[in-house]
Each structure stands twice: as C-alpha cells, then as structure tokens.
Amino acid sequence: MKYIFFVITSGSISDAILPLIEKKKDKGEIIIVATTEQLQIFFKNYTDFKVIRTKVHPDLITRKTKYKILSNIIRSKLEYRELFKDIKNSEIYFCNKDCAIVIYSYIKKMLKRNKVFFFGHKLENTTSAYPIEHSFRAFVMRWIVKWLMGVETVVYNRVGVPLWGLDKKIFKDIKIIEHPIQDNKLIERYSKKLDILKGKKILIAINDAVTVGFINKTEFINKLDNLMDILDDLAPGEYAIKPHHRLNTLYGKMSKCTEIIPSYIPLEFYLNHDWKYVIGIGSGSLFSATKYTNAEVISLIDAIEYTDEKIKQDLRDKLKKNSHDKIRFLGKIEELRQILK
C-alpha cells in the first residue's frame, strides 16, 4: 500500500502530516508530494521518505503570472500525467482547502482509483479574514477551474486580490473523509540541533505580510527597523530571525542580519530551544510558541498599520483565541525597550 501526502503549507507538517505518517509508515510506502522548493528541502533533509516535487505553481496563477493561466493549466495536465496518472489503490491525504487549486485538481482526478482523505477542521465556505467575492471576475474564475480543471470552488477576496478555495460541496461529491487535527508529539524526534541558535534568547518570527498585501512595504520596513534598533541596542548577538517559508526577501535592516534561521524549517522544529522571548506580528507561529515554549510571546500587530483593518482585527482575534490569550500585544514598538530592560 502506498500512502501519499500532499504538503501545501509548512504549518501542517507538525500538527497533521507527521503524526499521521507515524501511524502509516509501518504499513506501506510513504510518499511526500512537496508543492514548493522549501517543503522539498525540509523533507529531504529531515526525513527518509520519498519526495516528489510538483513544479506548476500550486495556486495556478500569481500576481506575476496572471497572464499565463492557460499555459499553466496545460502544464498542470502534463504534470499530472507524468507524476500521478499511474497511481492506484493508494491512500491520498491532504490538509488544506484554499489557494492550491492545481494540487486539488490532481487530488480529485486521483479519487477515481484511490481513497482520498482530507485531514483538517470543519469544511465551510466562510472565512472571517477573506470575504467571499460575488463579482463577474469571481464568476469567470470559478468557471475556468470547473470546466478546465474539474474543481468546484468559491473565490475569496484578499485585500483586493481574488483567490480560489474549495467549495464545501466538493467534499460531499468526492466523499473525502475529514480527520481532526492531532497534537504533534514528534517534534523532538525530527528536530536537529542548529549551531546558529547557540547563545540566542530572542526569536523574531516574520511572516510575508508585505507579499500578500496586508502591510505596506514602507510601513513594514519602518516598524521593523525600529525593532532592529532596539534589539541591537539592548540584546546584540542574542536574537535570531526566522523568515516565513514563502518570504524570499528580508527588508530594511533585517536584510543585513547574519543570524537567519533557514526558512525551510517550520518554526515548531526549534521551539524546544531555550527562548526567553518570541516576537512576531500576526503569524500563526506565535500561538505555536505559546504551546511549545515557556517564552514570553509578543505580537507587534497593534503597533503596525495594516492595509485592511478587518484583516488585522481578524488575525489578532485568532492569535488571542488559539493561544488561549497567552500572547502579549504591544501598542508601540518602543514598549519592547522596557520589556528587554
């Protein structure tokens, strides 16, 4: 029996993918389908499982490739034939239902000769962060993926940028079984010692808020340069920066920092380090830090202006809820100076 795991985000690795693999690895062959280069690097460096890398962008189009939608659809069909056409009598697992429409088209085709399982939380066509878009643009987007890729979708509006998400009726139609997310007990087993963490007490977890349009680039640089000034003044040599796995560029003074943790390693795999502070903005990494560390976890979200106040409030609410209100929110970056003193 083959067990095939489609990995779309690094956040699903510790809480979903690895715990389920532990239950299946002695029953047959484990195959990881990595949808990004960073995910591929992680699984090749941290596990012994077979890794397949998809090359077509999982989201089908991006801001830079929006005029290549037809060529990407054609490439996706060729990629499916090359990688997945002959797979049968296997179990297929995936954990996400937004954005990665190319991957979902592969999974739906594989349903014909395999058992497919969705491993996650409730299936709903709602998200408080991204409202569903009801426009001609959204209609065209839904039509394209339905008739050319065979996938039923809804379209969300993320700060003016539309993105696909799976329609919940897809799950009923293709009979995908929903599993509850499990707590990860395997971090220490898969973790490796990082020399870069020696002597470090402060972890800065930075997400890709500029890339997705949540925060203006100038605002982002100004506020994080202020953060860097405080750290260099009060804790030189005691901090390390962890970029989000999709964050290819560090901005401002952070770009000159040499203490950078490789972005392909999910944050959960080095939270067993003796951190005193974990600092971030709106990243889900912060509530992971409240779960796996004894550090004081600090969010700077209230100190930074977002392009959309509703998204900012929603992210803040999620941080409070998922951390059981264990995250400290700072209204100004300068408040960190008093904490570190």
Burial of 1 (0-12, 13-18, 19+ CB in 10 A): exposed
- Other beta carbons less than 10 A from residue 150's beta carbon: 11
pLDDT on residue 247: 64
- Which pTM value belongs to this model? 0.85
Same domain as 16, residue 163: yes
Tell me how far apart the alpha carbons of residues 264 and 270 are, in angstroms, rounded to a whole number. 12
- Is residue 264's pLDDT more than 80? yes
Query: What 3-state DSSP class applies to 284?
Result: coil
Judged by average pLDDT, the poorest of 133-137, 185-189, 249-253 is 185-189
Same domain as 139, residue 76: yes
- Is residue 126's pLDDT more than 60? no
Residue 167 sits in a domain whose CATH number is 3.40.50
pLDDT digits (tens, 9 = 90+) for 176-229: 766 655 555 677 777 777 888 888 999 998 887 887 778 888 999 999 999 999
Q: What is the tally of structural domains in the chain?
A: 2
Domain of residue 299, residue span? 192-334
Residue 340 lies in a domain: no
Name the domain boundary from 128, 159, 188: 188
**Directed axis angle between helix 136-149 and helix 101-110, to 10°?**
40
Residue 214 sits in a domain whose CATH number is 3.40.50.850
Same domain as 55, residue 182: yes
pLDDT digits (tens, 9 = 90+) for 17-38: 888 888 888 899 999 999 989 8
Residue 236 lies in a domain: yes
Residue 247 lies in a domain: yes
Same domain as 154, residue 280: no
Residue 76 lies in a domain: yes
Same domain as 19, residue 111: yes
Tell me how far apart the alpha carbons of residues 220 and 108 are, in angstroms, rounded to a whole number. 39
Same domain as 327, residue 244: yes
What separation in angstroms does the CA of 135 have from each of 139, 155, 160? 6, 9, 12
Same domain as 199, residue 138: no
